Amino acid sequence: MTVGDSPFPLLRLPSLLFRHVARYMENIDRLALSYVSNRTKSLVISIDLKCTEVMIQIEETIFVRIDFPSYDNLICTFEDCPENGESKVHRLRDTREGFTFHKPEYRLEDSLSHIFEIYHQPNIVTVSIRRLLPDMEGFRRCIKSFSGLYISRDLTDIETWNILKTFKPEKGLFLDHIPFGNDKGMFHEFLIQSLEAIELRWNNIPLDCLLITNSEFIKIITPKINEKVLNRFIKHWINGSNPRLKHLELWCPKSLSEINLSVVLKGIRHQEIPETYRRSFKGLDCTIHVDGGYDIRRKDGTVATVWSYDQENFDFFVWI
């Protein structure tokens, strides 16, 4: 188009031609078009757009990241003030390119529902909560399902507990602190869930809590590893506890003492594997190369490896 030419009459095109043109537009332009009117929103929905995943993060503002197969990912930011109704959208790799949409009648739930409609209820990978919204129930209602839930240590115990009662992740739970104090019964409710992964920041790991954790992948961040607790845990595993477990990882950041594996393995029949022997374990997010370790065998014949590659980490891999 040259100077003086008339703009392309996109909004006056018949619906069939409009959809054809919109299919060749960029992701950010199609999303912008969906905000113009109810007609353009319906037409954009009819294109059957797909994204690979969505992540929602609640901080001072609300961030929604939309990922596409083309990696032309978008970031949407919203305010939770009911009178605001403002949304900002930009490319993940270039914050200068984007648009601002202002619709006073739109609440946060309306803005999120708009995105979910455009992309046909996409897979919400993670909901990350670092503070409460004025209407957490309304926020939850507009999210039909989501895979993982992260709760920040910035929230109080009561706030964390209320979130856990309202938000039920399908696959993963990530707690930056344990909100249950000495009430193990409340905590057990969450440990026995059949989740794919659970990650906890835990100062003191009770054996009974480890034994009832029903997740496949367990990661615990702790200031100190109790070798005697691990020894008793492995003995219970040999006898059939934690049947769904695939990987237990304990991480002690800034640990001042090495893990004493002789205490961990005391009284347990095991086979030392030379460090020159490498095996590949399919982890939750990546493949882990396991060099050496100590193999133990459960009564049903299942093999697991005890492994500690530095003084900060302890791993228990189950070869299934």
In the prediction, which pLDDT does 7 show?
Answer: 64
For residue 157, the tally of other CB atoms under 10 A from its CB is 13
- State what percent of residues in the chain have pLDDT above 70: 92
* Rounded Cα–Cα distance for residues 316 and 225 (Å): 13
Residue 209 and residue 191 in contact, taking contact as beta carbons nearer than 8 Å = yes
- Does 202 score more than 90 pLDDT? no
Q: What is the pTM of this model?
A: 0.84
Phi/psi zone of residue 269: left (φ > 0), alpha (ψ -120 to 50 degrees), beta? beta
Place of tokens 């960029």: 26
Q: Tell which residue, 239, 250, 247, 254, has the closest CA to residue 288.
A: 247
pLDDT at 130: 93
Residue 4: the pLDDT is 45
| Rounded Cα gap, residues 315 and 308, in angstroms | 6
Cα distance between residue 278 and residue 280, in whole Å: 7
Query: In the predicted model, is pLDDT for residue 162 greater than 50?
Result: yes
CA angle 87, 93, 95 (to 5 degrees): 40
Asked whether the predicted pLDDT for residue 178 surpasses 90, the reply is no
CA distances from 294 to 183, 193, 302, 304 (A): 36, 29, 14, 8
What residues have CB less than 8 Å from 163, skipping those under 6 apart? 129, 136, 149, 151, 155
Closest by CA to 296, choosing from 280, 319, 274, is 319
| Residue of 234 and 18 predicted with greater confidence | 234
Q: How many Å apart are CA 290 and CA 278, to the nearest integer?
A: 6
CA–CA separation, 286 vs 235, rounded Å?
A: 28
What pLDDT score was predicted for residue 297?
Answer: 97
For 86, half-sphere exposure in the C-beta direction (CA atoms, 13 angstrom radius) is 8
Instruction: Give the residue with greater pLDDT, 185 vs 199.
Output: 199
310 CB burial (10 A radius; 0-12, 13-18, 19+): exposed
Q: 2 CB contacts (<8 Å, ≥6 apart)? A: none
The fraction of the chain above a pLDDT of 90, given in percent, is 41
What is the structure's pLDDT at 81?
59
The pLDDT of residue 253 is above 90: no
Alpha carbon distance, N-terminus to C-terminus of the chain: 61
Q: What is the mean pLDDT of residues 120-141?
A: 87
